[in-house]
A and B are shown apart, each in its own frame.
Chain A
């Protein structure tokens, strides 16, 4: 897997998510969700590296910023949903 995409309900929510992660020292980039994972149409997500995901989720949980869905980007260009526990 190349990276994770944390799908958010809105651009502003994605920006809040990315800002919380950046404040904690985790590189996080806001971008438009790939069409194949965007659910009801256009959406935004935050990209994080595989090694940062666990810590990122913990930080977001503490900040009350629950992700909508999480996908892992595969080397063949597809995305696989990761179950949220």
Chain B
């Protein structure tokens, strides 16, 4: 199979990830819940994972690295810690439902900076204009999951700093591919999955905290057990119940892989592949590619004249090629870019994707178009 759905989850992982998970399942218990070696081993793994993540993402204190089930879970904690009913929240026009649905459920006023696709100057100008004194928080994705568009997050963060508005960054598509630094952004929270660019298993995510956080779930933490309130300190405050230690073990190995290969190298590799893919696809008559060489990460969307995007996906699947079609759980992004009615076909790469695979994918798209 040619796997081009890494923006959903990276299917190909370093071999060390599965080995670590297997080891954890057979040798590790619950961290902090006992004084025996299997509990110690789990505790050590969790701590090493927090330390590795803290180093990679600009956090001084590993206690501020929270394990979550996924980026959605992390975003829910961040949003519900910062935002309450009746607040006004400014978001980019490229947010995922993981941001917009919690906001809608809370009953907040959502202002959308719906800047033109691949136009960072326009986005900055809109944030500048819309970041008015009544805005209580800003939530912005670093990279659009639909278009791979790299948003001007440094400048947006600067505006938030200048106007003292807390910022939540959704790093779902950038962690492990681009520089993600909570200190540089002075962000209140940064949320990310463990199973995409960090090469951990599904069921893992991270929340980086620089602001006071509220739990969305209460339960046992192995600390302050006499009290009926969640502990005031991190990470315990946000981590009720038994940890996903096999997941954390896998994520630790994923983080080590990213560190070993290098974020810059992974990002460059993916950008090169996307550039190649865009160039080749744009030569196919009837194929419309959404591409901007200066600010695009490892995902690329396209449409085919006269073909429903899901049909394109089905035909590619029949040729053993995996892509993602439709709205990608981000109707706001499609509305902003003008593709809400058609959806798009999205191809996304990882450190394990190759130029040869891109060539075979392009040939397959040619077949789909010519057999229309």
| Interface residues, chain A, with chain B CB atoms under 8 Å away | 9-13, 15-16, 19, 30-32, 39-44
| Interface residues, chain B, with chain A CB atoms under 8 Å away | 31-32, 34-35, 40, 43-44, 46-47, 50-51, 61-63, 222-227, 231, 233-236
State A15–B47 Cα separation when bound (angstroms): 7
Asked if A32 contacts B223 (CB within 8 A), the reply is no
Show 12 A/B contacts (Cβ-Cβ < 8 Å), sorted by A: A10-B234, A10-B235, A11-B222, A12-B50, A12-B234, A16-B61, A31-B35, A40-B224, A40-B225, A40-B227, A41-B224, A42-B32
Residues of A contacting B231 with CB < 8 Å? 9-10
16 more A-B residue pairs beyond the given contacts A15-B44, A41-B223, with a C-beta to C-beta distance below 8 A: A9-B233, A10-B63, A10-B223, A10-B231, A11-B223, A12-B50, A12-B234, A12-B236, A13-B233, A19-B51, A31-B35, A40-B224, A40-B225, A41-B227, A42-B224, A44-B32
Residues of B contacting A9 with CB < 8 Å? 223, 231, 233
Asked if B226 contacts A12 (CB within 8 A), the reply is no
Residues of B contacting A32 with CB < 8 Å? 32, 34-35
Distance between B234 CB and nearest chain A CB, rounded to angstroms: 8
Asked if B63 contacts A16 (CB within 8 A), the reply is yes
Asked if B62 contacts A44 (CB within 8 A), the reply is no
Residues of B contacting A10 with CB < 8 Å? 63, 223, 231, 233-236
Q: Per a CB cutoff under 8 Å, which of B40, B63, B224, B227 touches A12? A: B63
Distance between B123 CB and nearest chain A CB, rounded to angstroms: 37
State A39–B224 Cα separation when bound (angstroms): 7
The list of the 8 closest CB pairs from A to B, nearest first, reads: A41-B225, A41-B226, A11-B32, A15-B47, A40-B224, A42-B225, A40-B226, A12-B63
Distance between A60 CB and nearest chain B CB, rounded to angstroms: 14
Distance between B292 CB and nearest chain A CB, rounded to angstroms: 42
Asked if B43 contacts A42 (CB within 8 A), the reply is no
Instruction: Please judge, given known A-B contacts A40-B226, A42-B223, whether A12 and B235 are in contact too, CB under 8 Å.
Output: yes
State A27–B62 Cα separation when bound (angstroms): 21
State A31–B34 Cα separation when bound (angstroms): 8
Residues of A contacting B227 with CB < 8 Å? 40-41
Query: Which B-chain residue is minimally distant from A43 (CB atoms)?
Result: B223
Instruction: Please judge, given known A-B contacts A10-B231, A10-B233, A13-B233, whether A42 and B62 are in contact too, CB under 8 Å.
Output: no
Asked if B35 contacts A12 (CB within 8 A), the reply is no
